[in-house]
Amino acid sequence: MNDYLTNQKSETVKRFVVFEGGDGSGTSTQIELLRGKPHVWTTREPTDSLIGCLIRSALRGEITLHPETLTRLFSADRNEHLFAKGGVIDRCNQGDLVVSDRYTLSSLVYQGVLCGDLPFKLNEDFPLPELLFFLDIDPQIAMRRIENRSDREIYEYLEFQELVRERYKSLVPQWQQKGVRVIVIDASEPIEAIARKVAQEIDALRKE
Ligand code: TYD
């Protein structure tokens, strides 16, 4: 997967923070803990828009979409998330810290497994965040967490999550080379310990 990010634009958006990691890595839990902090807007992809709802329905296996259709839907959803009025860019420009549960890296990692170059082409023009938290976890531990959930999704099985981890590990350093500040966190640590590390970074950004 070398040089896949060659065409990726290097522009980063100030005050834009992204959490990434395999399923069960706890990105949503950490983002939930940041909700309500002054001048912090928490958000997620897929979004709660109509496109996002369609995607979630496919992720739950209620409808079947061709993998390339799903890849295109993820980037359409992202385009609205970023550029719509009141979206990520607007909020960052107004001085808010925007914290998103997943972004382009999720498409490169997850859709990259089945769709090769397509997600790279569709996502290379989106700007990069200023800060990335990568919650890294052994897929076996993550699967034990997921197995307790009632609403399982199409990507939530061990073999796929092993590929996901491998792809994150190869792509995260490439984002770093493009100028993103990257914090790698051992996601098997207790929630509170991770939350402390996250809060330190977030508070430092809010003071800038
Ligand atoms: P997740 O973030 O775990 O939320 P939930 O709590 O609703 O399950 O699930 C979103 C899933 O979508 C996750 O498996 C990763 C996947 N995904 C992609 O495959 N590509 C993308 O571009 C994005 C944003 C998410």
Domain ranges of the chain: 12-43+97-207
71 pocket-lining for ligand 1 (C-beta < 6 Å): no
Is the pLDDT at 135 greater than 90, yes or no?
yes
- Is 60:173 a contact under the CB 8 Å cutoff? no
Distance (angstroms) between ligand 1 centre and the Cα of 110 equals 9
Ligand 1 atom at minimum distance from 45 CA: 24
Using CA positions, which residue lies closest to atom 6 of ligand 1? 28
Predicted TM-score of the model (pTM): 0.96
Cα dihedral value 176, 93, 103, 6, nearest 10: -40
Torsion of CA 133, 43, 106, 150, to 10 degrees: 100
**Is the bond preceding residue 46 a cis peptide, omega within 30 degrees?**
yes
Q: Is 102 in the pocket of ligand 1 (CB under 6 A)?
A: yes
Torsion over CA: 87, 89, 90, 96 (sign) = positive
pLDDT over 90 (residue 148): no
* Cα of 21 from ligand 1 centre, angstroms: 10
Identify which of 130, 83, 84, 78 has the alpha carbon closest to the alpha carbon of residue 106: 78
Confidence of residue 1 (pLDDT cuts 50, 70, 90): low
Mean pLDDT of the chain: 95
Task: Please tell me the predicted confidence (pLDDT) of residue 32.
Answer: 98
| Domain 12-43+97-207 = CATH 3.40.50.300 | yes
Pocket test for ligand 1, best of 18, 31, 60, 110 (most atoms within 8 A of CB): 110
For 69-82, what is each residue's pLDDT tens digit?
A: 999 999 999 999 99
More confident residue, 168 or 10: 168
Instruction: In whole angstroms, give the CA distance from residue 158 to residue 143.
Output: 7
